């Protein structure tokens, strides 16, 4: 919304207001770029740099839809790895009879 406002201000001759709008837009964009991966990473339990890389890879692979698909794929892969890691530690996958014994007791 700030870029169209800056454009209108330029057309009206208010150069200072247009520059302020563009600077404010730049600050908002930078803050969002740095905070968004951190906030998303904390909520889903994934490293923030991983989220950034997933967004980048998603955009390269799927275009605009990759903004959603990339991080979603990363979270799914991380959850599968966490499950398999836990299952391997508990030996659930390799010895299903142990799992049956646990359920019986």
Tens digit of each residue's pLDDT (9 = 90 or more) over 27-77 = 988 888 777 767 766 666 777 788 888 888 998 998 888 888 888 888 888
**Residues 26 and 52 grouped into a single domain:** no
**Residues 60 and 27 grouped into a single domain:** no
Q: Tens of pLDDT along 19-31?
A: 999 999 999 888 8
**Residues 88 and 51 grouped into a single domain:** yes
Tokens of residue 29, six digits: 């964009």
Regarding pTM above 0.95, the answer is no
Tell me the residue length of the chain: 105
Please give the Cα distance from 32 to 89 (Å, whole number).
39
The total number of structural domains that make up the chain: 2
Higher pLDDT, 5 or 89: 5
| Helix (H/G/I), strand (E/B), else coil: 91 | coil
The owner of tokens 């959850």 is: 79
Range of the domain at 30: 1-36
Please give the Cα distance from 58 to 96 (Å, whole number).
37
**Residues 100 and 63 grouped into a single domain:** yes
Check residue 57 and give left, alpha or beta (phi > 0: left; psi -120 to 50: alpha): alpha
């Amino acid at each position: 919304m700030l870029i169209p406002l800056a454009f209108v201000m330029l057309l009206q001759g208010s150069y200072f207001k247009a520059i302020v709008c563009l600077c404010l837009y730049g600050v908002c964009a930078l803050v969002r770029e740095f905070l968004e991966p951190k906030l998303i990473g904390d909520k889903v339990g994934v490293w923030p740099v991983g989220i950034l890389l997933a967004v980048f890879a998603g955009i390269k692979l799927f275009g605009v839809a990759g903004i959603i698909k990339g991080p979603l794929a990363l979270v799914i892969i991380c959850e599968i790895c966490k499950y398999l890691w836990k299952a391997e530690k508990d030996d659930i996958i390799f010895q299903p009879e142990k799992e049956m014994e646990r359920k019986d007791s």
